[in-house]
A and B are shown apart, each in its own frame.
Chain A
Amino acid sequence: MGKKELSPINAGSMADIAFLLLIFFLITTTMDVDTGLQRRLPRLPDEDQQEDSSDKIKERNVFVVLVNKHDELLVEGKLIDLHQLRQQARDFIANPNNAENLPEKETKELPYFGSVYITKNPVISLTNDRGTSYGMYLRVQNELVAAKNELRDEISIQQFGANFEDLTEAQIDAVKNYYPSVLSEAEPKNIGGK
């Protein structure tokens, strides 16, 4: 038997193999993260529950946004352009001048803020036709969410000197009470057909 000496395994190609794998993963990797508008759908109403609560909301407390199948926007009975929507929604949520036709205000006791005079519970109601394009629908949603976010950011900077997203949990809760999330997705109505 020839006593051959055990030669060490040549590890010189190790780097090449690793490079090959590395390049494979580099190519297949997808770094994109999913972004989107996060919302909460309302629960389905119970069958036996009477829908009397919705009738009690006063007209001035509701901001009615309608989008028709030609992607036109009707806000509070007036045909407006998309870029006007944000300002109008802001005025509605905050009602800075305490206008008659905008939501009622009340004095409320909030942590951090103390006693504040804010709108009582404004509701934005968004209704769309079955023929509305999804792109338009999302842009309207985006404007309404943006209006709320801008207001929250402003009050956060004024009160805490930081953006809403950088606040502590308790502060976030306080700001959320100051400007609650008001967008309600109305029960769909079958109007206009397909």
Chain B
Amino acid sequence: MKSEEVLIKPGRAERHYWRDLWRNRELLYILSMRDVSVRYKQTALGTAWGLIRPLTTMLIMVFVFSKIAKLPADPGVPYPLMVLAGITVWTFFSTSFTQISNSVTLNSNLVTKVYFPRLIMPMSSIAVSFIDFLVSLGLYIVIAIWYKFTPDWHILLLPAFILLALLASFAFGLFFAVVNVRFRDIAQLIPFIVQVGFYVCPIAYSSRLVADSQDWWAPIYWYNPMVGIIDGFRWALLGEQAYFNPQSLLTSIITIVLFLSFSLTFFRKRENTFVDDI
């Protein structure tokens, strides 16, 4: 091992931060695997929980919104399939967002005892929700086969929307992860945000309903960066019949890029003081 010199000074950002991050990729992998293997330890049903949750949410929503409230699906699309697609991407975003927001505080025992690029904590917390997402996507495929629904070329764009959902959760989660270190109010706030988001985003309904609406708030709706991602995800799975407004996708991308760079700067600026505040 070649000796190298390290200089420690106040307020001095690590010169080799990104290289350090790359060097610690094994740690990233190991911390991710830790969260994954701990997730369903000592549960009787194990990974089946990854199926049970989206399935029950879908059934409840089919019952409440389709059978009772009689919300229409996009024409030519079975309502359960539309809902399940929405739930799948939303659950991925929201659990990943929640995990990232709590990642630094949950690892406080590491923060106070050992140095590593702190970005590893939020990054490693994504793995669990991503695996749940794959399980949920598998469930979608099974149900799509049941409905004899075949996707078209749009499906090729699916990874792009998954990546966007991931980046969105990272952009917002990273910001809250920093604030959470000082104010644990965030831990209380997050479930609330997720709950509101569930109704504000087009999950149980199609955003076509909003597009057709003449209400004063309808134009504001499209500023929600998640609308473009969820609609796009559905559009990739369900094809042209699903409502998708490319304008909303542009909003999403701009918001995510801006917020991601803001959050990263904020995180880098504050990460050296985590240990004092935690």
A and B associate in one complex: no
Q: Which residues of A contact B (CB under 8 A)?
A: none
